[in-house]
Structure formats: C-alpha cells, structure tokens
Chains A and B, each alone.
Chain A
Amino acid sequence: MAEMRMPKMGDGMEEGTINTWLKNEGDMVQAGEPIAEIETDKANVEISAYETGILTKILVQVGQTVPVGEIIAQIGAETASSAASAPQKIETVAAATPAAASRSENNGYAPVERERVKASPLARRMMAASNLDAAQLHGTGPGGRIVERDVQAFLANQEKPAPALAVELTSPQPVAASAETVKPSRMREAIARRTTQSKQQIPHFYVTMAVEMDRAQALLKELNADNPDGKVTVNDLIVKSCAIALQRVPAVNATWTSENTVKLFAEAHIGVAVGIEEGLIIPVVKNCQAKTLRAISAETKSLIKKARTGQLKPEEYSGGTFSISNLGMMGVDEFTAIINPPEAAILAIGGIFREFVPGENDAITVRSRMKVTLSADHRLLDGVVAAQFLQEVKKTLEAPFSLLS
C-alpha cells in the first residue's frame, strides 16, 4: 500500500488544491502515470503515481486544499482480487437481502463506507460540544490525529474578532458600502502571504536613478531590424545589464538566511515579474551571467508565454537570486517594488520618457530617460552598495554594446 501525498512543487508552496482527478477509485495506475492535476499558488501541475497498483482510495476531493505532505490518495497492491471482488461483494449483498439493505438505510446504518476521521476521544467530545465538523480541522497528532490542541487552535481562530471591527473604528461610515465577499484565488492568497512576510520581515530601503536610454533604443532598432520574429526588448537589455551588475557588485546577489548568515550566490538567476489574470508570477531566467542577450531574450519570451497560460513548472519560477519588475510599458514614471524573499533586492523599472535635460553649456537637449528604483534589504546592503549597483546598471545601459558580449 503506497500513500500519495501532496507534493512540494516549489520553494514557497505550502498547500495545494486538487483540480481534477485523472483516475477514479479502483482504476489501475502505472508508476509515473499522471493521476491528478493540482493547483498550487503558482501554476497547475500534474502529479504522477509513485508506484504501480490500484488507486484504492481518493482522500482529497476536487476543490479541496490541503497542506504539503498530506495524504491525498492510496495506491494498493496490484492484485486481481482487490480490483474485482470488492464491487462484486456489494452486488451480492444487495441482491440477496434487499429487505435488510433498505432497513439498514432507514435506521442510519447503511453499509456505506464513511470517511474514517482520526481524532482523539477528547477532541471528538470537544468538537461535538462546539458543533464542529472534523473535516474542518487539521490534525497535528501522530498519524494526523486531531487532538486537543487542534480543536483549541481552531476555536481560538474562530473567536478572533473580524478585521472589520478595526475598519469600523477608523472610518465610521453611517451607511455601509455594498460589498461582495470573494474568496481570493490561491495565487492571491500566496501573494498576500508572501508580500506581507517580505514587508514585515525585510527592512526595505529604496534608491532611484535615471538612465538615459537613447543609445539602448538605437541598438534595439538595429538588432531587431533584421530579426522581426525574435525581437529583443528593453526588458531583455535590463536583465542582461543586471546580470553584469550582479557580477560586479556581488553583495546584491545574496540572501540573509534564517540563521542570520549571508549566503552569496555565484550565479545570477533573475526573476522577471509577469502580471497575469490571476495575479503575478515571477519566472526565473537561470544563469544569466553566462547567457547572451539573445539567449536571455528567447528564454524570457518562452517563460512569459508559459506564465500567461499557467504552464510554468515549479523549477521555472523558483530559485531566483534577484528580480526585476517592469511597469514601463504602462506609462509609470517610477515606483518601488517589494522584495521577493529570499532575494536581497528587486529593481523596479519605470517608463522611458522624452525629457528636456541640460546638455553642454546648459543647452537644452532632449533625452529618453528611464527611472529605475532598487528596493534593497538593509540587513545585507547599504545605500552605497545599492547606488554602486545602479551605477553599473546605468553604465551598461548607456553604453549598450557592452551588453552584446
């Protein structure tokens, strides 16, 4: 008998939802054969059977969300009898004693196999006293048994005053605005959790710098003139530029660990934030330091496409060491981004605008300028280092042939 558990499909994954069961109870499954599709906070992924056998029991139904590691199904040994005899037995009973069957249905002892809930006697008594359904609770005792502390925790959670109370105190509105309560998507929940965690735990500071983009735009024009299918974008230039800057200012390519140590990364794995219908996802272009501009461009395009269609694999949106968030195409002047833990910094890219700037002898000149803002973790980085990093970014973007190496 093998237990299928909710797999951990990425760094930040804590729970998953069953989207579809691709197999039914009683079906034969082969090791490696997909048996369900699950939805994580990042993507929809198929999961495969660990071993060959009969899918004897589905423990988590479609739409249910369970923590990573929870048993979702059981696969039994591959025997002819277990597959064939069980349904047969039910038939025999039904045929032989129809009267008995209907009687037992009436008195509530129908021979229906009910979900066996593991709960201690005390926990059962407490749940009964509070009219709780065991299915609502998560057991933390041995073998997932629901024990006293689980019921207490659940009740304590319920008793928490609704956050609406605080709203009422600060904004006493005589007439409540009509509102609809919507359950956030799994991705929305993940974003809520991760951004809150980041802002609460990481001391952010921000440094902004303007970059002249005239030469970069000219370069793009030339690069793309003879290659309309694989257009290189401003964003690709920025990724490449950041890869170089991360090599030159390695303190930024790092993380502050839970043991209060600093881990410096050799490779620059750069995440590119992609806005999608459900929210936001950050696919990661690995080893940017070793890739050409064209390679980065092609890979980023492919990742963004996958992100928009929900096809990203966990390894494609995890393991980043630095991120870029670009709202330039939306006409944003400049903005600050929230660091994507466990990274040390994120670069927020504003739009490129034609601006009057003083030239030689204060002559009025017109330049294409773009403002970039680095959000940095002050535990690791100080203002000077952040500024050095931006200088490197500026240097390569303003002399963009350096990005073609």
Chain B
Amino acid sequence: MATMRYLQAVRLAMTEEMERDPNVFLCGEEVGQYQGTYRVTEGLLQKFGAQRVVDTPISEIGIAGLATGAAMAGLRPVAEFMTWSFALEAMDQLVNHAAKITYMSGGRIHCPVVFRGPAGVGTQLSAQHSQSLESWYAHTPGFKVVLPYTPSDARGLLKSAIRDDSPVIFMEHAGLYGTSGEVEDDPNFTIPFGQAAIRRAGKHCTLVSYSRGVQLCMRAADRLAEEGVECEVIDLRTLVPLDIDTVAASVSRTHHAVVVQEEWKNVSMGSEIAARIYENAFDELDAPVERVAGADVPMPYAKNLERAAIPTDIDVAAAVKRTLA
C-alpha cells in the first residue's frame, strides 16, 4: 500500500490505463503543456507524448464532440473539463450524442468515453464555477455517474471507467484533491461500479452520501458518537448504477436514514435516494428520511453567505437528531 493524494491517485489510474491500453488517450484544455490546472495530468505529456495527451482549443463542445467521435471509432478517450461547470457548454454533445449513440445505433456502436474533471462547491468560486450538477447526468439514461471520495476509490473507479464500454461521467471533488489515503499496489486493482462502501458501521442511523458529502457524514458521526449515537456511513461511490441494496440493508438495521449531498436539494440525487429508500425499505423506517443539501440558491461569492449555503457536519448531526426524535 502506498499513501498518496487524491489527485495523484487520479493521475495514477490514467497512467496505468495508458500503459496497459494504447487506445487510451487524454484530451482537454491545458492538460499537456500546462500540466493541468490542478496538476492532475502533470508529467503525462512528457511520458506519453502529444499524440496521447492532446491540448485542445477552449471549446467544451469541441472537446466533448472529439472524444465522443473518437470513442465511437474505437479509441478510449479520457476527456477533461477544467471544471464540470464548463461542461454546460458541451451539453448537446454529452446528452444528445455520447449518452444516446449506443441506443440509437441499436447497440452496434459503443461509446467508451470518460468525461472527467473537478466538481463540487466551495472556495469562493461563485455562482458560475461553484456548483454540483451530478443529478443532471444521473437523470439522463445512458451515462454511468461516478463520484469517488477516497484516493483508492478515485484510482480504482477511474480505471473501471476507462475500461467500461459506456460513457462515464467521472466527477472528482476539487476539495478532495489534497486529501491523502492508502492506494493498493496491484496495477490491475479496480473497483466495480454499483457497489457502495460502508465507511463506518453503526446501529442507530444510516447516513447516505457520496464524494465530499461522505466527509461531512464521517465528521457528524464522530460528533454523534460522543453522545452515544452510532451512525452507519454509506459511500455510494457511483450514482448510476446505484447500490440501493446496501442502503436498504443498512436501513433495515438502523431504521433511520439521512441523505447528505452538496448539490441543491430540489429534484436532486437526494430526492432519488430518499425515494428509493421508501420503495425498498418502507416497512423498516421508524421516521421519515431526512435530507441535508445545499441551499437552493446560486452559490454566493461572499464568504459568510457561501458558508451558509453549503451543508456542514453540524447540519448532518442535527438531521440525525431530528430523525431519531
């Protein structure tokens, strides 16, 4: 086991897959010469050359179209959005082409493309650059949607994404890039989609989250443990496919659930998870499912307002107490 940071784990996954499969290549703004805005692709241009690490013009629809076409033609592109907020420029390519081509070709044309980049909220990036839009992609049939929380998951899930024949939305959290964790030595280590991880066991309440929301849950669970409340924390890892079985099994033990996310609350991933809990574990519930989410406003720039709009571990702990009331 080696200890590395989340962004290094992302880089490791790409390096390993590019070494393993010559069809894998990278493209995006500033991924080559500039070494990546967050230094995720650092050293890769030098290692693999300009044919496999392609600096593109500043055009997200161009990047998405190029990558989708290359994937249809048999390559395995990993396209980077400098942030997922910029991917809004590419929506037609993503939703109308990448997500649908397999269906529209009657299964004859696969589209094994990975769209990746930093997502998430915070650090005063303001309304247009600080937002979580994962539910948009989870809503669209055809995508697999992956949001890793740990370095090991970032690497194991990205390797699975690159090997997957479907278009994969891979959202890294900019706020997690600097976090460290142990990463397996096996160069073939992958993590399958649709398998949630139980990050902490507990018998009183199930906390369901993904990406940085898991961090809030872990901190809230620490707080609550001091008061004798034991929370089980589930990291979904992939939103599509969604491992509702693990969630339902946990709720069957704890009889209480709180869903935690950074994205807006209205018509969101949390709405979906809560609904699935009702569908799959209704008779196990001893209280309504609680949801903790970002405030339904464009992200404010002012630091104090931004802080008020982003959920905290205290919000999570309060929700747990509400559901246990």
Please list the residues of chain A having a beta carbon within 8 angstroms of any beta carbon in chain B: 120-125, 141-142, 145, 147-148
B286 in the interface, Cβ–Cβ < 8 Å?
yes
Cβ of A120: which chain B residues have Cβ within 8 Å of it? 255, 285-287
Q: Known: A122-B255, A141-B325, A142-B325. Is A147-B287 also a contact (CB below 8 A)?
A: yes
Q: Which residue, of B255, B282, B284, B286, has the highest number of chain A Cβ atoms within 10 A?
A: B286
Whether A121 lies near B284 (C-beta < 8 A) is yes
Give CA–CA (A124, B282) in the complex, Å: 11
A-B contact pairs, 26 of them (CB 8 A): A120-B255, A120-B285, A120-B286, A120-B287, A121-B282, A121-B283, A121-B284, A121-B285, A121-B286, A122-B255, A122-B283, A122-B284, A122-B286, A123-B286, A124-B283, A125-B283, A125-B284, A141-B286, A141-B287, A141-B325, A142-B287, A142-B325, A145-B287, A147-B286, A147-B287, A148-B286
Cβ of B325: which chain A residues have Cβ within 8 Å of it? 141-142
Whether A148 lies near B255 (C-beta < 8 A) is yes
Cβ of A124: which chain B residues have Cβ within 8 Å of it? 283
For window 274-325 of chain B, which residues contact chain A by CB distance below 8 Å?
282-287, 325
Give CA–CA (A121, B283) in the complex, Å: 5
Cβ of A122: which chain B residues have Cβ within 8 Å of it? 255, 283-286
Cβ of B287: which chain A residues have Cβ within 8 Å of it? 120, 141-142, 145, 147
Q: How many residues of B contact A (CB 8 A)?
A: 8
In the assembled complex, how far is the CB of residue A64 from the closest CB belonging to chain B, in whole angstroms? 26
Cβ of A145: which chain B residues have Cβ within 8 Å of it? 287
In the assembled complex, how far is the CB of residue A182 from the closest CB belonging to chain B, in whole angstroms? 38
In the assembled complex, how far is the CB of residue B323 from the closest CB belonging to chain A, in whole angstroms? 10
Give CA–CA (A142, B286) in the complex, Å: 11
7 pairs of A and B residues whose beta carbons are closest in the complex: A122-B286, A120-B286, A148-B286, A125-B283, A121-B283, A121-B285, A147-B286
Give CA–CA (A148, B287) in the complex, Å: 9
Give CA–CA (A141, B284) in the complex, Å: 16
Having A120-B286, A142-B287, A147-B287, one finds 12 other A-B pairs with CB under 8 Å, namely A120-B255, A121-B282, A121-B285, A121-B286, A122-B255, A122-B284, A122-B285, A122-B286, A124-B283, A125-B283, A125-B284, A141-B325
Cβ of A123: which chain B residues have Cβ within 8 Å of it? 286
Which residue of chain B has the shortest Cβ distance to A145 in the bound complex? B287
Cβ of A141: which chain B residues have Cβ within 8 Å of it? 286-287, 325
Give CA–CA (A399, B255) in the complex, Å: 73
Cβ of B282: which chain A residues have Cβ within 8 Å of it? 121
Give CA–CA (A125, B281) in the complex, Å: 12
In the assembled complex, how far is the CB of residue A393 from the closest CB belonging to chain B, in whole angstroms? 53
Give CA–CA (A124, B284) in the complex, Å: 10
Cβ of B255: which chain A residues have Cβ within 8 Å of it? 120, 122, 148
Give CA–CA (A125, B285) in the complex, Å: 10
Cβ of A148: which chain B residues have Cβ within 8 Å of it? 255, 286
Give CA–CA (A141, B287) in the complex, Å: 8
Give CA–CA (A253, B284) in the complex, Å: 55
Which residue of chain A has the shortest Cβ distance to B282 in the bound complex? A121
In the assembled complex, how far is the CB of residue A143 from the closest CB belonging to chain B, in whole angstroms? 10
In the assembled complex, how far is the CB of residue B95 from the closest CB belonging to chain A, in whole angstroms? 37
In the assembled complex, how far is the CB of residue A353 from the closest CB belonging to chain B, in whole angstroms? 62
Which residue of chain A has the shortest Cβ distance to B251 in the bound complex? A122
In the assembled complex, how far is the CB of residue B256 from the closest CB belonging to chain A, in whole angstroms? 9
Cβ of B286: which chain A residues have Cβ within 8 Å of it? 120-123, 141, 147-148
In the assembled complex, how far is the CB of residue A139 from the closest CB belonging to chain B, in whole angstroms? 12
Give CA–CA (A148, B286) in the complex, Å: 6
Give CA–CA (A348, B132) in the complex, Å: 77
In the assembled complex, how far is the CB of residue B202 from the closest CB belonging to chain A, in whole angstroms? 16
In the assembled complex, how far is the CB of residue A127 from the closest CB belonging to chain B, in whole angstroms? 11
In the assembled complex, how far is the CB of residue B276 from the closest CB belonging to chain A, in whole angstroms? 15
In the assembled complex, how far is the CB of residue A140 from the closest CB belonging to chain B, in whole angstroms? 9
For window 22-40 of chain B, which residues contact chain A by CB distance below 8 Å?
none
Cβ of A147: which chain B residues have Cβ within 8 Å of it? 286-287
Give CA–CA (A37, B286) in the complex, Å: 36
Cβ of A125: which chain B residues have Cβ within 8 Å of it? 283-284
Give CA–CA (A369, B319) in the complex, Å: 70
In the assembled complex, how far is the CB of residue B322 from the closest CB belonging to chain A, in whole angstroms? 8
In the assembled complex, how far is the CB of residue A138 from the closest CB belonging to chain B, in whole angstroms? 16
Give CA–CA (A110, B50) in the complex, Å: 76
Interface string of B222-247 (1 = CB under 8 A from A): 00000000000000000000000000
In the assembled complex, how far is the CB of residue B37 from the closest CB belonging to chain A, in whole angstroms? 47
Q: Which residue, of A121, A123, A142, A147, has the highest number of chain B Cβ atoms within 10 A?
A: A121
Give CA–CA (A147, B284) in the complex, Å: 11
Which residue of chain A has the shortest Cβ distance to B322 in the bound complex? A142
Which residue of chain A has the shortest Cβ distance to B284 in the bound complex? A122
Cβ of B284: which chain A residues have Cβ within 8 Å of it? 121-122, 125
Which residue of chain B has the shortest Cβ distance to A122 in the bound complex? B286
Give CA–CA (A121, B325) in the complex, Å: 15
Give CA–CA (A393, B286) in the complex, Å: 60
In the assembled complex, how far is the CB of residue A152 from the closest CB belonging to chain B, in whole angstroms? 11
Give CA–CA (A147, B204) in the complex, Å: 14
In the assembled complex, how far is the CB of residue A171 from the closest CB belonging to chain B, in whole angstroms? 44
In the assembled complex, how far is the CB of residue B208 from the closest CB belonging to chain A, in whole angstroms? 18
In the assembled complex, how far is the CB of residue B257 from the closest CB belonging to chain A, in whole angstroms? 12
Give CA–CA (A62, B90) in the complex, Å: 69
In the assembled complex, how far is the CB of residue B203 from the closest CB belonging to chain A, in whole angstroms? 12
In the assembled complex, how far is the CB of residue A360 from the closest CB belonging to chain B, in whole angstroms? 74
Give CA–CA (A141, B324) in the complex, Å: 9
In the assembled complex, how far is the CB of residue A118 from the closest CB belonging to chain B, in whole angstroms? 12
Which residue of chain B has the shortest Cβ distance to A123 in the bound complex? B286
Cβ of A142: which chain B residues have Cβ within 8 Å of it? 287, 325
Cβ of B285: which chain A residues have Cβ within 8 Å of it? 120-122
Which residue of chain A has the shortest Cβ distance to B285 in the bound complex? A121
In the assembled complex, how far is the CB of residue B48 from the closest CB belonging to chain A, in whole angstroms? 55
Give CA–CA (A141, B255) in the complex, Å: 14
Cβ of B283: which chain A residues have Cβ within 8 Å of it? 121-122, 124-125
Give CA–CA (A149, B120) in the complex, Å: 39
In the assembled complex, how far is the CB of residue B53 from the closest CB belonging to chain A, in whole angstroms? 54
Which residue of chain B has the shortest Cβ distance to A142 in the bound complex? B325
In the assembled complex, how far is the CB of residue B68 from the closest CB belonging to chain A, in whole angstroms? 45
Give CA–CA (A381, B255) in the complex, Å: 51
Give CA–CA (A276, B282) in the complex, Å: 53
Which residue of chain B has the shortest Cβ distance to A146 in the bound complex? B286
In the assembled complex, how far is the CB of residue A211 from the closest CB belonging to chain B, in whole angstroms? 58
In the assembled complex, how far is the CB of residue A381 from the closest CB belonging to chain B, in whole angstroms? 40
For window 117-163 of chain B, which residues contact chain A by CB distance below 8 Å?
none
In the assembled complex, how far is the CB of residue B255 from the closest CB belonging to chain A, in whole angstroms? 5
In the assembled complex, how far is the CB of residue B287 from the closest CB belonging to chain A, in whole angstroms? 6
